[in-house]
Amino acid sequence: MQPGLIESQQQVQEQQRKMLVPEVKARPPQEAAALLAEYPARVIAGVLMDLNPALTQDILQELPAGLVDSVMHALPPETALQWKRNQEYPQGAIGRLMEPSLAVFHPQQTVGETIEQLRTLVKTALITYGYVTDPGGRLIGVITMRDLLFAEDSTRLEALMLREIFFLKPDLPLGEAMKLVLDRHYPVYPVCDESGVLTGLVRGQAMFEEQAFEITAQVGTMVGVEKEERLATPLAQSFKFRHPWLQLNLLTAFVAGAVVAIFQDTVDRLVILALFLPVLAGQSGNTGCQALAVTLRGITLAELKAGKERALVAKEASLGLYNGVFTGLIAALGMLAVARYQGNPHAVVLSIVVWLALIGSCVTSGVCGAMIPLTLKRFGLDPATASSIFLTTATDVVSMGLLLGLAAILIR
């Protein structure tokens, strides 16, 4: 093939790569894989190398096996080997974010030899630190570019390297790793296995990108929006993701409606209660959402330690009690004013009913807001998955049931 034609093809492939990268980033892995499958393996390889390593792994799992092999052959050998290793680690582990460690040296190597080796490496890869390993591959030191710059060419790396090394383990969950690096802010972190063998590198930017995606996705999962759905997701796919959860929400809404139906006679006798049903539902719902948000944040940031769940639930119950007492007083005064304005002979009792119902519903909402994600986590499920739907059902049933039940008991 003529050199000019080869150069032209490379330019076309480079243009395709630049065009595809933002498109792929905006799509969930399954759709991104379908889009990339239409292009040559070399283009796909170039696009994947520009993505967050975790997203790269997700897309590779969606591509046909034959195409994956072609993509791997189009990659630099070190990158292909690293990606295959990354596939061994579970979703959310640091190992999924690893890049190959290219700047690896031995302790007897001189600064001059190291710099000559780096001259070649920096042409094809971003090198931030150098890593010194023993014959068994164990990480024993880190070299900074500044130290290399000011050292004599004859100086051996063992005399120059930093021996106090911070590293991550490949099976460490991302949330735990984020806590460890929170006060370090290094651009790159070495990743070593249990024996201290250097297995790869993970960039701080990649970690924060992945954590940011998890946090933004959490808001959607609370109301039944799948993590895979993006702005560019087709209409049919978005409908498939969302509709089952809306059907579940409808079913739970029938449960709340059944509670009102049970106390239909009470509602017929005391129509004024209907005015305060949305007040209690809204107030208790907000109380529950506050507890839910704090609990999910604690789980996501790994702040909730084992054995502290009971203390969390007790705290949210107490907050619900205090909030219910004081907001209930305002609601009770509102009921008293409206009932007296309508000339209802049970005005005082109705205000007490509202006060007690709001206290009870806020306490229950606080408990449910903490218990629902904890229960989902206990069963190995995503704590955020549709938790808002379950919480809304609980708060509606309890608030309406308490208001109508207490009125039925206290007002004959």
Q: Which two tokens mark 145?
A: 């570019």
Residue 333 located in a structural domain: yes
Residue linked to tokens 């807001």: 369
Note whether 286 and 140 are same-domain residues: no
Domain edge (last residue) among 75, 93, 114: 75
Note whether 355 and 261 are same-domain residues: yes
Triad 162, 168, 174: Cα angle to 5°: 145
pLDDT over threshold 90, residue 177: no
Lowest mean pLDDT among 126-140, 254-268, 315-329: 254-268
Residue 227 located in a structural domain: no
Q: What's the pLDDT tens digit per position in 19-59?
A: 888 888 878 888 888 889 889 889 999 999 988 888 889 89
Higher pLDDT, 140 or 178: 140
Please choose, from the candidates 350, 284, 292, the residue with its C-alpha nearest in 3D space to the C-alpha of residue 320. Answer: 284
Note whether 199 and 312 are same-domain residues: no
Q: Which CATH number does the domain housing residue 175 bear?
A: 3.10.580.10
Residue 24 located in a structural domain: yes
Of the chain, the end-to-end C-alpha distance in Å amounts to 96
Please choose, from the candidates 353, 342, 341, 386, the residue with its C-alpha nearest in 3D space to the C-alpha of residue 277. Answer: 353
Residue 86 located in a structural domain: no
Residue 313 located in a structural domain: yes
DSSP string, 240-270: HHHHHHHHHHHHHHHHHHHHHHHTHHHHHH-
Residue 253 located in a structural domain: yes
Note whether 119 and 239 are same-domain residues: no
Domain that residue 42 falls in: 3-75
Note whether 168 and 307 are same-domain residues: no
Paired strand residues for 110 = 156
Q: Which CATH number does the domain housing residue 401 bear?
A: 1.10.357.20
Note whether 239 and 193 are same-domain residues: no
Q: Which two tokens mark 231?
A: 């702005």
Mean pLDDT, range 279-302, rounded to an integer? 82
Which pTM does this prediction carry?
A: 0.57
Note whether 186 and 308 are same-domain residues: no
Paired strand residues for 104 = 131
Q: Contact at 8 Å (CB) between 349 and 391?
A: no
Higher pLDDT, 217 or 309: 309
Note whether 285 and 342 are same-domain residues: yes
Q: How far is CA 326 from CA 288, 322, 361, 410, in A?
A: 16, 7, 13, 22
Residue 84 located in a structural domain: no
Q: What's the pLDDT tens digit per position in 335-372?
A: 999 989 888 888 999 999 999 999 999 999 999 988 98
Determine the Cα–Cα distance for residues 192 and 170; give it in Å rounded to an integer: 7
pLDDT over threshold 50, residue 93: yes
Note whether 71 and 115 are same-domain residues: no
Determine the Cα–Cα distance for residues 138 and 196; give it in Å rounded to an integer: 5
Residue 162: what residue type? L
- How many domains in the chain? 3
Note whether 319 and 388 are same-domain residues: yes
Q: Which CATH number does the domain housing residue 7 bear?
A: 1.10.220.30
Domain edge (last residue) among 75, 92, 112: 75
Mean pLDDT, range 224-247, rounded to an integer? 64
Residue 95 located in a structural domain: no
Q: Strands, E, within 2-133: which ranges?
A: 104-105, 129-133
Determine the Cα–Cα distance for residues 357 and 405; give it in Å rounded to an integer: 9
pLDDT over threshold 80, residue 387: no
Note whether 51 and 163 are same-domain residues: no
What's the chain's average pLDDT? 84
Note whether 248 and 386 are same-domain residues: yes
